[in-house]
Amino acid sequence: MLDVTTGSSLSLRRCELFEPLSDAQIEELASCGRRRALVAGETLLSENAEADELFVVEHGLLQVKLAVSGGRVVSSAEAGPGQLVGWSALAAPHAYFAEVVALTDGVVLALSAADVEEVLLREPAAGYAMMKRIAGLISMRLRDLKEEFVELLSTQAQPR
C-alpha cells in the first residue's frame, strides 16, 4: 500500500501541467497537498469565489459549468484523473471563472496556490514552463468557448 505522499506524487506526475517539475519539487508539493473526497453532485468550486487552491483529479469525473445570460448554465468541460481544475488560483485576479461539480464520487488532491508559487519561484525555469502550459490551457478553453458561443448564437439566429 502506498503512503499518502507517494500516492500524491503519482497524482501530480500524471498531471501534464506538472511535467516540467523535478522529482524533488513534486515530492515537496505532494507533502503540502491534502486529499478531498467528493460525492456526486457536490460543488468543488464556485464561480467568482476567491481562488486560493488548485485541484488534481485523482479519481472520478468533474464537470466545469459556466453561467451565461438569462441564468442558464452550460457545461464547458469535464475533468478526469490526472487533470487539473482551479488553475485560476495561480493567475490574477485569483477568482474561479467557473463552477466545478462532481459528476461521480471521487477524490481530488488540493494544493495551496501559495505552496505551488513558492516552489515555482525557487526554480524559475520550471515555473515558466508550467505557466506556459497553463497559458496553453487557457487558450484552448477560450477557443472551445468561442466555438460554443458561435454555435449558440447561430441556433438563436435561425428563423423558427
**Contact at 8 Å (CB) between 146 and 37?**
no
* Digit-coded pLDDT (tens) for 3-16: 344 578 898 999 98
pLDDT at 116 over 90: yes
pLDDT of residue 6: 54
Domains of the chain: 4-157 (2.60.120.10)
Q: Nearest to residue 4, comparing CAs of 28, 31, 23, 22?
A: 31
The CA–CA distances, whole Å, from 29 to 16, 24, 54, 74 equal 15, 9, 12, 33
CA distance 123 to 137: 21
- pTM as predicted: 0.82
* Digit-coded pLDDT (tens) for 33-84: 999 999 999 999 999 999 999 999 999 999 998 877 666 777 778 999 999 9
